[in-house]
Amino acid sequence: MSVALHIPVLLAETMAALALQPGDLYVDATLGAGGYLRAARSFGIAHAYGFDRDLTALALNADLAAHDDVTLIARPFAEMEAGLAAHGVTAVDAIAFDIGVSSMQIDQPERGFSFQSDGPLDMRMSQHGMTAADFINTASESEIADVLFHLGDEPGARRIARAIVNDRPLTRTSELARLVRSVLGFKPGGKDPATRSFQALRIHVNDELGQLDAGLDAAERLLRPGGRLAVVSFHSAEDRRVKSFLRDRSGNAPGGSRHMPMAATRRLPSFERPARAVRPSEAELAANPRARSATLRAAVRTAAPAWSATASAAVSAATPVRFA
C-alpha cells in the first residue's frame, strides 16, 4: 500500500500550530500513513517518535524508521509516557494527534471498518482483542443500543439493536449494513444509514474515547513549558472531549453558581488559552472529501504543574519496538 495514496488532513494548519523548531523533540501520537511525521522532519527537529497500535501502519513506514532521527513505537498513544520512557525521554516539545480511523484502514476490506466493500466484521485497530462481531453477537440488546446511541448519535439505536439480536449471528460488514438499512430505510444517493452504527461500533471496540482521555492527560504531563499540542478529530464526541480538556486546563471552564459553587482551590492553568478551532478550507475539501468533518484544536503548555496525576504504573514488560 502506497503512503502517497493517503492525504494528511489539515497538514499545513497542524504544522503551523506545532511551530516546530530545529532541535525539538516531536511526538506523532497517531502515525498512520506518516504524513505529519514526514512533514515534521523538514523543520530540522532533533528526533521524532511515532506511535501506532496498528502494526500495519508501522510496517508501512519502514522507510522512516531507517532514519536515525525517527523511532517508531508499537503502542497506543494512551501508553505514550511508558513508550517514551523506554527510550529515555521524559519531556518533549510538540505532540500531534490525528484521532480516529485512517484512510489506510478504511480502504482495507479485510479490516472490516467500512461497509463500502464486504469483509469480516472486525474493526480492531490493534488486530487483537474483541471484534465488532464478537460484541454484537454476545452483548445484550440494551448494551448494543447504548453503544449505537451514545457513540454514534443514532436515533434508531433501539430498533437496530433489536434487529441485530433477532438476526444474529452477523459476521460480515455487508450483513450488518443490510440490516441497518432495512431498519432505517435507504435512499440511494444520500448518506448511508449504516454510517453511524459502524462508527459507534468502531469507537467501542477500540475504546477510542478512553484512549483519547488518557492520551491527552499524557500529553499534558510530557509537554515542556512552551510545548505545543495539536489535535485533529473527526467525530463530535471526540471534539467535545478535546474542547473540554483544553477549556478546563486553560482555566476557562464555566464559573460556578449558587447551585454548583466553584471549588475553593483553583489550579493554575496548564495550557494557555486555546487557539480558535480550525476546519478544512474549500480547496482542501475539494481535494480530499474525507476531510469534511475534521476539526483542529491546539494550545501551548504553560509552566504550571499538570492537572492529571503523575502516571504511577511501571513501564510495561512489552518493550516498545524500534523499527530500523
Q: What is the pLDDT of residue 106?
A: 59
Phi–psi pair at 298, nearest 5 degrees = -145, 155
Closest CA to 280 of 98, 9, 16, 39: 9
Q: Residue with C-alpha cell 494528511? A: 8
Q: Read off the pLDDT band of 107 (50, 70, 90).
A: low
Instruction: Name which residue leads in pLDDT, 188 or 168.
Output: 168
Closest CA to 51 of 79, 23, 91: 79
Integer Cα distance of 55 and 285 in angstroms: 29
Q: Read off the pLDDT band of 317 (50, 70, 90).
A: very low
The SS3 call for residue 97 is: strand
Model confidence pLDDT, tens digit, residues 196-207:
999 999 999 999
Tell whether the model's pLDDT for residue 47 goes beyond 80. Answer: yes
Residue 180 cell numbers, joined: 441497518
The domain spans of the chain are 3-103+208-300, 127-205
Tell whether the model's pLDDT for residue 105 goes beyond 70. Answer: no
Provide the CA 214 distance to its chain's centre, in angstroms: 11
Mean pLDDT, rounded, for 246-254: 90
Q: What is the pLDDT of residue 109?
A: 60
Q: What is the pLDDT of residue 310?
A: 45
Sheet holding 223-233, edge to edge: 70-73, 47-51, 25-28, 92-98, 223-233, 295-300
Q: Residue with C-alpha cell 493517503? A: 6
Q: Say which amino acid occupies 98.
A: D
Mean pLDDT, rounded, for 302-308: 95
Q: Say which amino acid occupies 79.
A: E
Q: Which CATH number is 127-205's, of 3.40.50.170, 1.10.150.170, 3.40.1350.10, 1.10.287.110?
A: 1.10.150.170
CB 95 within 8 A of CB 27: yes
Residue 138 cell numbers, joined: 454476545
CB 193 within 8 A of CB 184: yes
Closest CA to 28 of 14, 16, 7: 14
CB 252 within 8 A of CB 40: no
Integer Cα distance of 112 and 114 in angstroms: 6
The SS3 call for residue 99 is: coil
Tell whether the model's pLDDT for residue 321 goes beyond 50. Answer: no
First to last CA, the chain: 19
CATH superfamily placement of domain 3-103+208-300: Vaccinia Virus protein VP39 (3.40.50.150)
Q: Which residues of 257-301 form beta strands (DSSP E)?
A: 295-300
92-98 and 223-233: which strand pairing?
parallel
Tell whether the model's pLDDT for residue 99 goes beyond 50. Answer: yes
Name the average pLDDT for the chain: 88
